[in-house]
Structure 1
């Protein structure tokens, strides 16, 4: 009898332990909501210091989140940034370095033949969509996909308005739409509609695990806001290069819709088991909104082009607060893998930032960017670029601690900055600190070799230095 009782006690302990482990396992596999705003600048939110744009819902979310103030995209414009985030791999793997074509700008001002550039990611790549689907999640994308024709070939069960299209098109924020989406109400606003579709997805899948990817088309051009909000900001004084009322209206609409989605998660009691990530695909357009104290904007590899807002919330799991460790969006994939399927072997180029989310330290590492192509100027007098003809010419960049080095392939130019003392990247220290410049250059060259990064070397036969000199003079008149 004693043996029988002992056996049953042991059995109960085993069953109880198994039940506890099952509950524990479930709690570590949350729903995931990834909100990716298009062209939203690092400083374009209230919690990031803006006094002009009004973002009360995101300001509230920031107080409940880990706020990364040194968060980066892996590229300075949308297609390569999104491809790298979704695949967890450097552009050398998927081949997208820019929005096609790669040889933008007047051919007479380009010294080199740009490296080849892909338009879409290959179907063989194991994307975040495929990862979540194979781990039992229902998956949906609502908005700008931009890296292939159909996200359903990359693991998404539901696709609303996602295609290879990179922006809504002329007059595209109000129905009838240019994207593949039939309006429910005449004159409805695209940002509202995408959010309502995302909310439907949450309601329909509330009893399941889900991955909701919400890449808003907003705040990409064409700038179009609701008239009543535009009127509001016309009558509000701007500051620090932030004074565009239409852009402000778009930001407010985006914030309102984020609030709606968060409200549904709360009302369905899903917030506690939902990991929320909010970010932007690249820096904002400098001519539209300044990102001071950061230099330049979208398309540039100065800080204003690649540093973006980033919030991560998981209620009762992640402590809120400000995190200064540099991270990159390529880290999302390995972080989610470590959380959901740590045993799965995948080749990913980022690193899990779970330690930072749970208030632990990460080993210091270097961050790298590679751009072997050309991206023409947006507004020569506003871009804040190295020269007025291009937001970026071919080159590579490394951030190592507080130091950042830019290397340009056309002329071998080096720019060295200390971001702690000079976040605007205004004082090139390459000549005054050649030891640090060479140290970072060696790291950069080794990284390129390790990842077989293409470096354009073929001279462009159409290049005309006299024409280029005259074009630069004319651009600055």
Structure 2
């Protein structure tokens, strides 16, 4: 009996330790890639880009085939993720200015754009920081001059800039301490790994590499691998592919570090992109158009969640979600009560844990500004001059409605049958069109959305 009692005490102590560890708040890792399109990864079907590390990570959790960014270009999408709010609530609609393209082609005076996220917004890192998390931003920030003023303890290379002037030193507009690596994507992950090695408390990392945004600056050692591959469905740029490949390697290093430190099972990982792929460099067939457009190619993203304790591996969901849902989902898994925040997304835990298979709600996008086309001779936009003219979009179920402020134009698509948005059904189904337009109008009023109505005196009809 004397020998058994100490053994029992040790077992009880170990069990208590295990329970304490199981109850420990999860680490948070958001991987928000820049300009990565819906099919720019293997797990979404690309037969050109090779992303074995991202594919592996996707297999460890739930993939969303209808995952969206809440805006079709960088700054507004990132502002939505950080605030958990639709664009009308923070006013960041584009990369300044809102008068993109030639004035003679713009019928309306667009809404003035906000460049810096207002300090009044209590964003995700601030909330986590106030609840015991050590917070680290790594890579592209794009919402202010200094992410340290918004709740981050550590800043690795983040500023107001939306892209690096160079991925090779000197980086010119990216400030980051020297390390062993030189290529910017490699250096940022090197510093992120250093943070992971030293942090003791639960942590939140906003890993937002500048890759794979322009400038297209290849990793020379990788280019031959893709130069010898046959193009596939509009994907065939070997230099861009080398950047995708190198990013994948770095994400593999993040995964390995979590496992090395015994943190993988207690880390909630979210993988997504801030907007669609850059049309002309990469395409997302059968999706229409790309970055800057509110057709599917501009807003539908590769998107998955991994959390070993709660989310079953190798699962998939067709539920439409957006990056607005990340904030409330993280609050759920960290046990932080939402008492003051006005969040526009939904907690996805019931979907992620397999308790529900549907989530009935409309999704909205609002873009009251102009964004010029990259190449008028090669695009899939509404017209050749602009990737987007001022308008709003709503998706409910499989139905998606585009509304344009210049001409009150309407486009209705059934995504279950026409994911490429080629067959406008607005006239064929007027009741459905009216229903979705009604939802948009209610949403404009609820969010006090800015609607451009002032005519541009410099506009010239039918001028190209």
Q: TM-score, normalised by structure 2?
A: 0.94
Matched residues in 1 for 2:318 and 2:130: separation? 34
The one of 339, 356, 359 aligned to 2:354: 359
Pick aligned residue for 1:101 from 92, 97, 101: 97
Is contact 2:68–2:301 with CA below 8 Å preserved after alignment? yes
Q: Is the 8 A contact 2:73 2:291 kept in 1?
A: yes
Q: Are the equivalent residues in 2 in contact too, given 1:135–1:341 (CA < 8 A)?
A: no
Q: How does 1:271-420 map to 2 (within 5 A)?
A: 271-320=264-313, 321-345=315-339, 346-361=341-356, 362-420=358-416
Displaced runs of 4 or more, over 4 A: 19-22
Distance in structure 2 (CA, Å) of the matches to 1:333 and 1:266? 25
Task: Check if 1:254 corresponds to 2:211.
Answer: no
Deviation at 1:188, TM superposition (A): 1.2
- Maintained 8 Å contact 1:176/1:182: no
Residue 219 (structure 1) shift: 0.4
Deviates more, 1:321-330 or 1:357-366: 357-366
Alpha-carbon separation, structure 1, partners of 2:74 and 2:232: 27
Distance 1:360 1:305 in 2: 31
**Secondary structure, in 3 states, of the residue corresponding to 2:221?**
helix
SS at match of 1:140: strand
Gaps of 5+ in 1: 1-14, 472-477
Listed as ranges, the matches of 1:109-120 within 5 Å are 109-120=105-116
Q: Taking structure 1 as the reference length, what is the TM-score of the superposition?
A: 0.91
Could you tell me how far 1:140 is from its partner in structure 2? 0.4
Compared with structure 1, are the counterparts of its residues 273 and 103 closer, same or farther at alpha carbon in structure 2 (3 Å cutoff)?
A: same
Report the number of matched residues.
Answer: 449
Picking from 207, 213, 228, the partner of 1:214 is 207
2:187 is matched with which residue: 190, 193, 196?
Answer: 193
How far does residue 183 in structure 1 lie from its aligned partner after superposition?
3.1
Once the two structures are superposed, residues 296-344 of structure 1 have per-residue CA deviations (whole angstroms, 9 ceiling, x without a partner) of 1000000000000112111132112111000000111111112223433
| Whole-Å separation in 1 of the counterparts to 2:397 and 2:18 | 40
Match of 2:5 in 1: none
- Deviation at residue 21 of structure 1 after TM alignment: 12
* Unaligned stretches of 5+ residues in structure 2: 1-11
Q: Is the 8 A contact 1:271 1:315 kept in 2?
A: yes
1:406 is paired with a residue whose SS is strand
Task: State the SS of the aligned residue for 2:319.
Answer: coil
SS of the aligned residue for 2:222 comes to helix
Equivalences for residues 59-70 of structure 1 within 5 A? 59-70=55-66
Contact 1:177–1:183 (Cα < 8 Å) also in 2:
no
User: In the alignment, which residue of structure 1 is the partner of 2:37?
Assistant: 41
Structure 1 residue 109, shift from structure 2 partner: 0.2
Aligned to 2:23: 26
Structure 2 contact 36–277 (Cα < 8 Å) conserved: yes
Matches of 1:287 and 1:360, distance apart in 2:
41
Secondary structure of residue in 2 paired with 1:272 = helix
- The question of whether the paired residues in 1 share the 8 Å contact of 2:125 and 2:151 is answered with yes
Query: What does the per-residue CA deviation read over 1:385-425, in whole Å, with 9 as the maximum and x for residues that have no partner?
Result: 00000000000000010000000000000000000100000
Tell me if the contact between 1:175 and 1:183 (Cα under 8 Å) persists in the aligned partners: no
Any idea what SS the aligned residue of 1:348 has?
Answer: coil
SS in 2 for 1:465: coil
Q: What are the superposed Cα offsets for residues 164-217 of structure 1, whole Å, 9 maximum, x if unpaired?
A: 000001xx11112121124335x8111111001110111101x31000111010
Shift of residue 20, structure 1, vs aligned partner: 9.2
- Report if the CA contact (8 A) 1:66-1:313 is conserved: yes
Q: Residue 26 of structure 2 contacts residue 202 of structure 2 at CA under 8 Å; is this kept in 1?
A: yes
CA distance in 2, matches of 1:338, 1:286: 36
**SS in structure 2 opposite 1:351?**
coil
Q: Which residue of the partner structure matches residue 86 of structure 2?
A: 90
- The structural deviation recorded for 1:238 is 1.2
Residue 450 (1) aligns with residue 449 (2): no
Distance in 2 separating the partners of 1:132 and 1:315:
21
Quote how far apart the aligned CAs of 1:24 are.
Answer: 7.8
Contact map agreement 2:219 2:242 (CA 8 A) in 1:
yes
Q: Structure 1 stretch 172-181 or stretch 131-140: which is displaced more?
A: 172-181
Q: Does 1:226 align with 2:223?
A: no
Alpha-carbon RMSD:
1.8
Q: 2:266 touches 2:309 (CA, 8 Å); kept in 1?
A: no
